[in-house]
Amino acid sequence: MPATIKLKEEFGDDLAIVLVESQGADEEGFMKFAAARKWLGRDMLWTRERPFSTGAGGLPNFALLDEEGRVVLMGNPLSLHGQIEDEITAAIARARKGPKDLPKSAAKVRGMVAKGDWAKAQKQLERELPKAEGEEAQALQAEAAELERRLDAQLARLRWLLENGYADRAQEQAEALVKGCKGSDALLARTEPLAQEIAGAEAELAAAKALGKLEAALYADGPDAKLAKRLAKVAEDHAGTRVAARAAVLAGWADQ
């Protein structure tokens, strides 16, 4: 786990980590166990549902997927740490710039999308696609489809955050998304309505603000009886919100 946490801290949002409990503990049990060791937070996902089997019987064990969802490494992370870092670095570079043979015009679009410059990428496509031919045209069409896929994924993520008690994160990310879409009426028409919905969720945002520091304290310091009571109080004070439901769960994890 310490090495996994270090990887997440090093690569940030470019690396998604799913941690799978595989020894039969119930959810509250393994989440309290993780909280006690200060393993929570950092946007790492915890689950008891195995995405797939690696075929290995021992622990620790991992599978690393590249930017296309292909398994590129499996095994014991302790013995393969260097290779893991190298594969992650290479995958991030490809996701940002594309393969070496990608036409420059398409690579430019991909770089803009990777930075969140949605409107600039759209305008680049509108300039380059009409005059492109052959492999360049195909590459640009693929980047246009990828822009749509990524934008849809961003919107779906914002919706999930709002509906699962992370209104503050949803607002922050929505503002960044809208900023990147300025200059394109078509893109703003797709992104602004959800951003406005999030900004108007005043009860959720107030609850998220009340929960923020307490949640950070749980992740940084681990379970504590007093902290559990304060988390429960947030759940009580903001009853009816999705944030309150999450605060109640965190209170259970914090209770010693």
Predicted pLDDT at 215: 96
Predicted pLDDT at 252: 94
Distances (CA, A) of 187 to 104, 124, 144, 161: 24, 14, 13, 20
Mean pLDDT value across the chain: 92
Nearest-angstrom CA–CA distance, 3 and 222:
19
| Side chain identity, residue 124 | Q
Span of 17-26, 47-56, 210-219 with lowest mean pLDDT? 47-56
Task: Tell me the pLDDT band of 205, cut-offs 50, 70 and 90.
Answer: very high
Collapse the DSSP code of 178 into the 3-class scheme (helix H, G, I; strand E, B; otherwise coil) and give the result: helix
Residue 198 has pLDDT above 80, yes or no: yes
Closest CA to 184 of 137, 151, 146: 151
| Side chain identity, residue 146 | E
Is the Cβ–Cβ distance between 243 and 215 less than 8 Å?
no
Higher per-residue confidence, 29 vs 24 = 29
Task: Tell me the pLDDT band of 197, cut-offs 50, 70 and 90.
Answer: very high
Higher per-residue confidence, 229 vs 23 = 229
Nearest-angstrom CA–CA distance, 78 and 63:
13
Which helix (H) or strand (E) covers residue 89, if one does?
A: helix 81-97
